[in-house]
Amino acid sequence: MREKWIFVALGMATLAFTGAAEAKDTQFWNLTANTITAFQVSAPGKSDWGTDQTVNDSDRSVDHDERLKITGVATGVYDVKFKDQKGRVCVVPNVAIKQGGVFSIEEKKLPPCTN
């Protein structure tokens, strides 16, 4: 009987470890019209912009329909600021980000941007 409990405990530990190893990256999916060259997040309304997330990409940019790994951002709602290859700077308020999930920003839903 004791061997059975040891086997069950080992099985549960293995499942827990496997689940942790399969944790997914948080990703931004660029559905804007242009390549993004800088991407930062801030608590809503604070303009306290964090690290440029494009450092997580090999060419430090995010092409249209490309995904970017996001690090150091907990699940929550954020303002997002990005700059694209055309020189446009956009601030998108209240973007929901979930750890291990994929979030996107679509061109047709962008607020007015500056040049």
Q: Is residue 97 part of a domain?
A: yes
Q: Is residue 36 part of a domain?
A: yes
Structural domain boundaries enclosing 31? 24-109
Please compute, for residue 100, the number of CA atoms within 13 A of its CA located in the half-sphere on the CB side. 6
* Number of domains present in the structure of the chain: 1
- pLDDT tier, 22 (very low <50, low <70, confident <90, very high otherwise): low
Q: Is residue 19 part of a domain?
A: no
In this prediction, residue 4 carries a pLDDT of: 56
Contact (CB, 8 A) for 54 and 39? yes
Does position 2 have pLDDT exceeding 70, yes or no? no
CATH number, domain with residue 93: 2.60.40.2890
- pLDDT tier, 23 (very low <50, low <70, confident <90, very high otherwise): confident
Q: Is residue 11 part of a domain?
A: no
Q: Is residue 53 part of a domain?
A: yes
**Interval 62-85 mean pLDDT:** 98
Does position 40 have pLDDT exceeding 50, yes or no? yes
Does the reported pTM lie above 0.85?
no
